[in-house]
Amino acid sequence: MISAPLRKVTLRLQPADRAYVRFAFSPVWECVAAFRAWMDPGRHALLLPWITRIKPAVSRVDWEPLSDLALVPRGAIPDFLAPPPDTPLSKLNDGLASLKQVPEDVVRDEIEIAYQGNVPQSLRRALKDPSALLAKLASLIEEFWHRAVAPEWGLLHARLEGEVLFRARSLAMGGLDHLFRGMHRDISYYHGRLTVRTDSYWDGKKRRRGILLVPSIFSWPDAFLTVRPPWQPSIIYPARGVADLWSDSGRTSPNGLKLLVGSSCAKIIARLQKQQTTVEIASGLKLSAAASSEQITKLWRAGILERTRVGRRVFYSLNPKGQTIFSAFHGEPTRK
């Protein structure tokens, strides 16, 4: 994949920007980022278990022209390929509908920017009919969704929702300083200036007000920036906890603990070294919602879990007693 040197893009956040910070998911973006990860596995080591799993389902499909546009340097990916979502809980069909409605001049301009004037002949031919190109791209993204992303969406959605709640609470309790703290190595905020290290093009002039933050699983290890009109200024950044999404939970549950409490319960105890919801537990361990809830309730009543409510969601993790039990069978517990 082509690499490009990063530069700094700095947005001076005015009161109107600071008053309009919002969060959203983007299933279309997850597809585009997942596609990039599958095509460049060497750069996405944490995603290798997923990449290996989906390979048979996606290897025998002709992905052009999606591959032509998704595999340019990260700062040059045409913004129209995954338009910033208009609603917090955007669905795949919403994003695909927005993609198919992108104005023709925006399509042409962003492809020219992506290739710096050296647009491949195949894309130049496709640009003679931008509407047909957009329809083809939407079809390929939907195909990749069904083959590679949809089977994991329950787990991914739960993790993304948890990330939004975490960042929203950080914003409410500590303002923008707390919100952006530790978000990504290429994102910093200081005295009203939001800086992103990226190769994304922006002339520093016109932009819409506000900031949209879009947590992502498949963007790891990179952060992405959208600034150019007509799009909402957006930062796509990796959600926390990507490393353990596809970990083999069975390996973290030693035989002694399995014999004591059962295999499923031992796996849940291992996962609860970090805060998770019952939905995340169920998706990650391929359990039914009822089975996950039953085990969590049992561990809660046994007095080895902490419970934290954020909005309508409840997060569970091992309390000190639970960590002691886990470490007795497994050595040192993992720190939160």
Q: What is the mean pLDDT of the chain?
A: 86
* Rounded CA separation 336/328 (Å): 18
247-330 has CATH 1.10.10.10 classification: yes
The whole-number pLDDT of residue 330 equals: 61
The whole-number pLDDT of residue 2 equals: 42
- pTM assigned to the model: 0.76
* Rounded CA separation 336/240 (Å): 12
Q: Do 64 and 92 meet the contact criterion of CB atoms below 8 Å apart?
A: no
- The per-residue pLDDT for range 293-309, each reduced to its tens digit, is 888 998 988 888 988 87
* Rounded CA separation 233/204 (Å): 12
- The per-residue pLDDT for range 50-92, each reduced to its tens digit, is 999 999 999 989 999 999 999 887 778 899 999 999 888 889 9
pLDDT band at 5 (very low <50, low <70, confident <90, very high): low
- The per-residue pLDDT for range 166-194, each reduced to its tens digit, is 898 899 889 999 999 999 999 999 999 99
Domain spans in the chain, listed from the N-terminal domain onward? 7-238, 247-330
Q: Which residues pair with 215 in a beta bridge?
A: 237
Q: Which of 60-74, 106-120, 128-142 has the highest mean pLDDT?
A: 128-142
Q: Do 292 and 306 meet the contact criterion of CB atoms below 8 Å apart?
A: no
* Rounded CA separation 11/336 (Å): 33
> Which tokens hold the place of 60?
């025998």
